[in-house]
A = this chain, B = another copy of it.
Amino acid sequence: MTEKKEAGIRPDFEKSGGLVTTIAQDAETGTVLMLAYMNEESYQETLRTGRAVYFSRSRQKLWRKGEESGNVQLVKEIFIDCDQDAILLKVEQIGKAACHEGYQSCFFRKLTPEGVEIVGQRIFDPAEVYKKK
């Protein structure tokens, strides 16, 4: 263990305009679920609550994942990369679907020389879950 040496290790929010890129991975299956961003506030709330909270770049506000759909992400482990500008969350995805389009993973399309192939199965119908939209 090198805890003393590594004591100052934390996400570098200043590096990319206040945001750190965050990967959410299913803790059990290893499936990469989504990619999002965190600012310092969302990071602190994630630590405090144990649920993934991101910062929405399009809406410019905190994004409590699953707030509307109920598909929250329970954070099991947090990792930081070598240059401290990316975070990996290992999560339990409630509802089995991370993507707002109803798929388990946002990476549900495979690019092949022949075209795009849908490789994920729809778990929910977005029109049903996000009725207000």
A interface vs B, CB < 8 Å? 1-3, 6-7, 9-10, 21, 23, 25, 29-32, 34-35, 77-83, 86, 88, 99-101, 103, 106-111, 114-119
Contact = CB atoms under 8 A, between A and B. Distances in A.
Contacts of A30: 29-31
Given A30-B31, A116-B9, A82 B110 contact: no
A119 B79 CA distance: 9
**Tally of this chain's copies:** 2
Contacts of A110: 77-79
A1 B82 contact: no
B35 A109 contact: no
Given A23-B35, A32-B23, A32-B32, A6 B82 contact: no
